[in-house]
Amino acid sequence: MQPAILLAAALTLAYVVHVLLNFRRALQEVGHFPGTRSLLSPVSIAGKLMPYVKGVNAIPFRAMLYRFQEFHNLGWTAFTHVSAWPRPQIFIYIADPVTIKEVTSQRARFPKPGHFYTIVTCLGPNIISAVGAQWKTYRKIATPAFSEKNNKLVWDETVLVVRGLFNTHWCDVLEITTDDVTEVTTAMAVQVFSAAAFGRHISWTDTEHPPAGHVLTFKDALVTASSNVLPQIVLPRWTMWLTAHLRKVRCAFDELDAYIAEMIQERKSALAVGGTGDEKGDLFNNLVAASVAEDGDSILSDRELTGNMFAFLLAGHESSAHTLAFCLAQLALHPDVQERLYAEVSTVVPNGNPRYHQMSSLPYCLAVLYETLRLRYAVTLPKQSAEDTSLPITRTDGTDARDRIVVPKGAIVSIHVAGLHTNPMYWDDPMAFKPERFLGDWPRDAFVPFSQGARACIGRKFFETEGMAVLAMLVAQYTIAIKPESKFAHETAEARAARVLRAVPGVTTTPVRVPLVFRRRI
């Protein structure tokens, strides 16, 4: 037995030495540039699931926790993170607009690491996960689907959804208290997405039954799936049988998959008999029409159509719902901003019935959305270096001295969005909520909530249109305040802001709880 133990100990020691030597080599490759170090890779399963222990794993959500502070502490607009196991990995985080523009504009040097995004292909390949020629095909087909006609449809459907909220749930009530406004914004976002993306209306009071061949209605499938994206894309399929909730989530995705398959056939049949594909103007109709070649052949398979609609749901619905929740919280915390927004809306839309053509006359409304995105956008946008190269960086001590950071081939170069959005070299008083900073000239290269370059989000206008319509209607009818709770009666203003703006990681930055009160304007 003793020889076996000694052999195992020797092999273990040899493996540890091997890991340490590789780790040391990785540090040398980045020239021991300042940064953080960990045993576990932040993208490994162990690194993601383990509670944070300094030196053992990284905090995936540290972008939200520290924002630009990490860069300031280390002295540069870039810092490195090197992990040792299961293999050495180099991450270079950047919060410098000049560096970011170089990375996003040179896709051959810094391609998107497609393997990071395979988890979002659960319903089929899509524009988020695709790289190279496949991505170009998806982009070419998807871009026309986000047409001006679709933007107007988004606005009109959002107005209908919010008016439905006023006339059903909030009808004749002078004061509405919500324990968590995210539930309201999520319900709105689902209804808007269903109508503007799928061409299917969902009301606040639907009582329909599942059609033949289905066990869930389209509304139930869409609501359940859109609210439970994270377990669907993260957990192995076999685990979705383990609990009643996971079984419900799996059923919802299977049902949504089936509904989309039926809609594909319906739309293709309409095209086959002479339809133009733009009768409805919804995103799905436009996408199906754009994916059919002049000879009638399909450019995209049915799985690719389904996968891309799921990608739009993933990128659009949850981010809209969560951003609107944070936005309403900020308005409640800043009554002066809320009243300035009300003044703009009441001037432009005196009858409380906003029209799409008035959107361009609401610059402060857009500024409120942008300022919320600036302070609450916490993900990083990864690229991968295709060669040994270097990138320009700047000192954070106010001297503006520039240098270059070594970038080894294979290193993950991540745009640290939260760091960039709070970089004091570009944003005055960066931690303050000041929407007026987006009026007039502002540093556009230092604001990338929709990414940048060729792979920038094609759904940007969809989000802006929906968000502005919601804000305009809510502020025109109600004042917004933080829900008073006796257990928080003595908290400071800073503590209150931290509480209602608290967030956790999810598919997008997720509010923990946003308790608000809406009081009808008399």
Separation of CA 217 from chain center: 27
With respect to residue 295, please indicate whether it lies within any of the assigned structural domains. no
pLDDT at 276: 56
In a domain, 48, yes or no: yes
- Tell me the longest C-alpha to C-alpha distance in the chain: 87
Per the CB < 8 A criterion, the answer to whether 83 and 89 are in contact is yes
Distance of CA 182 to the CA centre of its chain: 15
| pLDDT value for 274 | 67
Q: What tokens appear for 216 in the block?
A: 């869930």
Q: Is residue 292 part of a domain?
A: no
pLDDT (0 to 100) of residue 297: 75
Measured CA angle at 392 (ends 34, 20), to 5 deg = 35
List, for residues 474-483, the tens digit of each pLDDT value: 999 999 999 9
| Cβ pair 348, 475 in contact under 8 A | no
pLDDT tens digits, 332-384:
999 999 999 999 999 999 988 899 999 999 999 999 999 999 998 767 789 99
What DSSP character marks residue 211?
P
pLDDT digits (tens, 9 = 90+) for 28-62: 999 999 999 999 888 776 766 677 788 888 765 55
Tens digit of each residue's pLDDT (9 = 90 or more) over 260-270: 999 999 988 88
Residue 402 lies in a domain: yes
Q: Residue 67: enclosing H or E segment and its boundaries?
A: none
Beta bridge partners of 81: 36, 91
Read off the pLDDT of residues 63-111 as tens digits, 9 standing for 90 and up: 566 789 989 999 999 999 999 998 899 999 999 999 999 999 999 999 9
Domain count, the chain: 1
State the DSSP code for 171.
T
Task: Tell me the Ramachandran region of residue 431: left when phi exceeds 0, alpha when psi lies from -120 to 50, beta otherwise.
Answer: alpha
Whether the model pTM is above 0.75: yes
CB 382 within 8 A of CB 413: yes
Burial class (CB in 10 A: 0-12, 13-18, 19+), 54: exposed
Whether the predicted pLDDT of 410 surpasses 60: yes
- The boundaries of the domain holding residue 87 are 2-116+380-421
In a domain, 417, yes or no: yes
For residue 176, give both structure tokens. 């509405």
For residue 105, tell me if it sits in a domain.
yes
221 CB neighbour count, 10 Å cutoff? 23
pLDDT, residue 49, reads: 64
Confirm if 182 and 227 have CB atoms less than 8 A apart.
Answer: no
pLDDT in tens, 182-208: 999 999 999 999 999 999 998 888 778
Q: Is residue 207 part of a domain?
A: no
Report d(CA 88, CA 488) in Å as an integer: 46
Which pLDDT belongs to residue 270? 85
